[in-house]
Amino acid sequence: MERLLRLQKVTSKLSQALTPEQVAHVIVQQAGPAMDAADCSIFLLEEPGVLRLVQLVGMSRRELEPWTCLTLDVPLPVTDAVRLGEPVWLESREAVLERYPAMSRLPLSHGRAWASLPLEVEVEGRVLGVLTLGFDRERGFAEEDRDFARLVARQCAQALERAHLYARERELREQAERARAEAEAHRRQVELEHLRLQAVLQQLPQAVILAEAPDGRLVMGNTQAARIHGESVPANWGKEEYTVARTGFHPDGRPYSPDEWPLVRALSRGELVRGEVMEVRRGDGSRYSLSVSAGPVRDAEGRVTAAVALMEDITERLRLEKSLRQGESVFRRIMESEMMGLAFTDRDGLIHEANEAFLSLVGYSREQMGRGALRWQVLVPPEGAEAGLRKQRELWSRGVVTAFEMELVRGDGSRVPVLTGAAQVEVEERESTLSFVLDMSDLKRAEGAVRFLATASRVLGQSLEVPDATLQHVACLASVSVASWCVIDLVTPEGGLRRAAAAHEDLERVPRLVRAWPTPAMNGSGGPLLEALRSGEPLLFQDFRAEAWRRVSPGFVPLEQVMEAGEVCSVMVVPLRSHERALGLVTLGACKPRRPHGPEDLSLGQELAHRLAAALESARLFLESQRAVQLRDEFLAVASHELKTPLTPLRLQLQGLKRVAEGLGGEPVPAERILRVVRGCESQVRKLAGLVNDLLDVAKLAQGRLPLHLEEVDLGAVAREVLEQLSAEVVRTGCWVELMDRERVVGRWDRLRLEQVVTNLLTNALKYGAGRPIHVHVRWADGVARLSVRDEGIGIAPEHRGRIFGKFERAVSERHYGGLGLGLHITWQIVSALGGTIAVESEVGHGSTFTVELPRDTADEGARAMLAEP
């Protein structure tokens, strides 16, 4: 009886529910308690093969979240109830987990039982959903329990079916009402639209023509059609008259045939034409461009009853589009070119678009710009912020900013001088600013280089001499204008290198630079610096780090003693040369934030080196000219003295002879007396002739006009002959001369000049031999003829050895030793012309050894003339 009452209550509540949602709510609220269930849920088949949880009581929806929407292939009680069409009875937790392991994820109490009953419509056998009951203890399901559950499920299914039918009936009724209302509204709308269409056709800016099928008679044309065509369209025209009265042309210039006109195609073929561009020629010959759209008008059966053509005069639009395309093409080429940087900026200073020239100039990537990292605020240096605000106010007030110069901060922190300007533009309906930027680096660098070179030239030109102080001034100028530091090394007279100047923009680092920057030894095996000095080719290290330092400074101090840790520099080494002669090296270093040296900077370094070399060469020539003047004066004094030396005794002897003749009173002078005087005069004349010949030889050597007459000559025999000629001089000086070798040394030489060489060397040894022995060696050695003359006299100081072969040069004072200072110079010239060499070894107080080496055969080059001293 109790169950009947429960069933009656459930049935009563279900009868009051009208919609499926209400029925589902009643089921979970009434059916579960009616069967003593702890929880109850309803799953409905909302679409084929899919169950959706719509109502539940006794559990939270979150606990059933994984099973709120199930496909029938999922192994669960609710899906089995649908597939089998039978209830699923599970009397314990073990039975649940054994049959459905997937339900282990569901929070189940101990000893629970489950029942899933399909909600099936009996007549049709159609399942609407599943009623699931959960019990809080294990239990068996007796047959009467199962029958009661099935009865409740059938009542629920019937209620759900009624609700579905009610909902469907209500939906159909509402649809019918809406359809009637829409039909009435449509009728009224059609009437209204017809009236509107009549008005709109006349107000349309486009021309409209309506033609009837099948002959294409024009039934309507608005005022725009008459305006475009230049005349009204006759209402009785057919398609033949219309297509003949005007000539249409395709974009490629082909004329339209009568059946190609858009209106004709819409009438005859039912074709829909959209925006076809054509050119039409009026009767007066003028042309205009049209955009034509045409389409058929069909009746209910789909037959074409008319056609309408919509025409727009696009002559001006095409002209503007062409101009716009040309303008866009020009702007695009400008944007893509490297002529200038272009950037678009919003009002907040964000750069949202820029060309590659701009991005490269400011040192940012397109990705950084896309992230919003590129703003004018970060490009303008702090000291330029105020001027930037003034220019911004000018832009907002005038719409443009006149071009002005400024510096921009690049992405790496370095700065770049630019010429920039801006104008307000509208891009995609958004206010924007277009800015142009021209890189002024090359111009500023060139201006700075010109100023620097002009200043350096002015400093170098302040004096005819170039002391180290002047070079230091130039190095300081370089270190603050075109480089971070500068080192100048000069070749010494001894052939080494010395540090003449060093400057750094950081004064505290100058001593370290002086100590650490290498000065290569001239007798070294090589290295880039020495190679540059010898070859005259500049060096450029654009990234001067440890590897470059090891090349430049093998065995010198570590790089950290020259550069700061992590400092990035570039180094340019330029040789100083004048007339193929190495004068030294100029080294320029550029460190961040200064721009690194590049290939384009080599010309500046070479120009600086050229001006330094020119100044050094001018200073050398000035000093040489001063020395030449001094030598000339000394030579004139010495030459006067030397010429007077033989003339004085000659005059005295002649005067004595004259007095003797006058004293004899007309008697003849004794022959013996005359012969003695003549011999004395001859000796002095020979000395005078020797001096004059030396002067003539020097003059010929300077002009390259001293000829060589080559023949087979025995050098030993020449030495013996000269020694015999100088026997009187040997006796006078008290020296003892020994010819050590007796072998024949025969070669192809000039005998007269070879005698001159031997004579000069022996005379020199007798003059400075201090009365001590002189040893002469003539022999073959290493394939060359070697003549050596050694004395044990006063010797030559080391500082004088390099210049004794020069013109008018002496190693001793002319007051104590006579001569013009030409003998060794002439000797050196003759030996060089014969293809040989001459060298001297000497120690002060222990004498000197002059060694001449001659090849066996002097090369015959036709008319032989000795080269003048450079």
Note the pLDDT tens digit of each residue in 313-348: 888 888 888 888 887 777 777 777 777 889 999 888
Residue with tokens 């590659």: 356
The residue that leads in pLDDT, 151 or 652, is: 151
Residues 594 and 483 in one domain: yes
> According to the model, what pLDDT value does residue 558 have?
56
Residues 226 and 268 in one domain: yes
pLDDT over 60 (residue 605): yes
DSSP of 571-593: EEEEEEEETTEEEEEEEEEEETT
HEC string of 182-204? HHHHHHHHHHHHHHHHHHHHHHC
> According to the model, what pLDDT value does residue 526 have?
60
In this prediction, residues 37-50 reach a mean pLDDT of 84
Best CA proximity match to 768, nearest among 738, 813, 716, 822? 813
Note the pLDDT tens digit of each residue in 637-676: 555 645 655 666 677 667 777 777 777 766 777 777 777 7
CB–CB of 309/292 below 8 Å? yes
> According to the model, what pLDDT value does residue 816 have?
41
Tokens of 338: 């490297």
Residues 469 and 353 in one domain: no
What lies within 8 Å, CB to CB, of 33 at 6+ separation is 6
DSSP of 420-461: EEEEEEEETTEEEEEEEEEE-HHHHHHHHHHHHHHHHHHHHT
Residues 435 and 467 in one domain: no
Is residue 23 situated within a structural domain? yes
73/52 Cα distance (integer angstroms): 14
> According to the model, what pLDDT value does residue 864 have?
44
Residues 162 and 301 in one domain: no
122/120 Cα distance (integer angstroms): 6
560/8 Cα distance (integer angstroms): 102
> According to the model, what pLDDT value does residue 777 have?
92
Is residue 213 situated within a structural domain? yes
Domain boundary among 171, 190, 216: 171
When mean pLDDT is compared over 291-295, 552-556, 708-712, the highest value belongs to 291-295
What lies within 8 Å, CB to CB, of 536 at 6+ separation is 575, 577, 580, 582
Residues 769 and 789 in one domain: yes
Residues 425 and 456 in one domain: no
**Domain at 461, CATH number:** 3.30.450.40
What lies within 8 Å, CB to CB, of 839 at 6+ separation is 850, 851
Burial bucket for residue 229 (CB in 10 Å: 0-12, 13-18, 19+) = buried
pLDDT over 90 (residue 301): no
Residues 238 and 359 in one domain: no
186/201 Cα distance (integer angstroms): 21
Residues 243 and 374 in one domain: no
Domain boundary among 385, 414, 439: 439
659/198 Cα distance (integer angstroms): 158
Is residue 643 situated within a structural domain? no
When mean pLDDT is compared over 460-469, 647-656, 712-721, the highest value belongs to 712-721
Is residue 630 situated within a structural domain? no
99/76 Cα distance (integer angstroms): 9
> According to the model, what pLDDT value does residue 157 have?
81
Residues 532 and 555 in one domain: yes
> According to the model, what pLDDT value does residue 108 have?
53
Give how many domains the chain has, as a whole number.
5
Residues 314 and 345 in one domain: no
**Domain at 727, CATH number:** 3.30.565.10
Is residue 687 situated within a structural domain? no
CB–CB of 135/113 below 8 Å? yes
Note the pLDDT tens digit of each residue in 802-826: 667 766 665 454 444 445 567 788 8
Is residue 859 situated within a structural domain? no
The residue that leads in pLDDT, 810 or 72, is: 72
343/358 Cα distance (integer angstroms): 7
What is the chain's Cα-based Rg? 60
145/810 Cα distance (integer angstroms): 146
Is residue 154 situated within a structural domain? yes
Note the pLDDT tens digit of each residue in 610-635: 998 888 888 888 888 887 777 666 66
pLDDT over 80 (residue 76): yes
348-to-365, 380, 514, 645 alpha-carbon distances in Å: 20, 14, 51, 99
In this prediction, residues 447-465 reach a mean pLDDT of 85
Residues 401, 406, 408, 409, CA torsion sign: negative
> According to the model, what pLDDT value does residue 575 have?
92
pLDDT over 90 (residue 738): no
Domain boundary among 390, 411, 439: 439
17/851 Cα distance (integer angstroms): 139
Q: Residue 772 phi/psi, 5° resolution?
A: -100, 170
Tokens of 172: 């159909």
774-781 and 737-739 beta bridge pairing = parallel
* Whole-prediction pTM: 0.47
**DSSP state, residue 601:** G
The residue that leads in pLDDT, 538 or 218, is: 538
> According to the model, what pLDDT value does residue 861 have?
45
DSSP of 716-762: HHHHHHHHHHTHHHHHHHT--EEE---S--EEEEEHHHHHHHHHHHH
**Domain at 282, CATH number:** 3.30.450.20
Is residue 582 situated within a structural domain? yes
Note the pLDDT tens digit of each residue in 841-867: 888 878 899 999 999 887 654 334 444
710/747 Cα distance (integer angstroms): 9
Residues 363 and 458 in one domain: no
> According to the model, what pLDDT value does residue 420 have?
92
> According to the model, what pLDDT value does residue 706 have?
64
The residue that leads in pLDDT, 526 or 609, is: 609
The residue segments making up the domain with residue 86 are 2-171
Q: What is the mean pLDDT of the chain?
A: 80
Percent of the chain residues past pLDDT 70, beyond the cut: 83
148/486 Cα distance (integer angstroms): 109
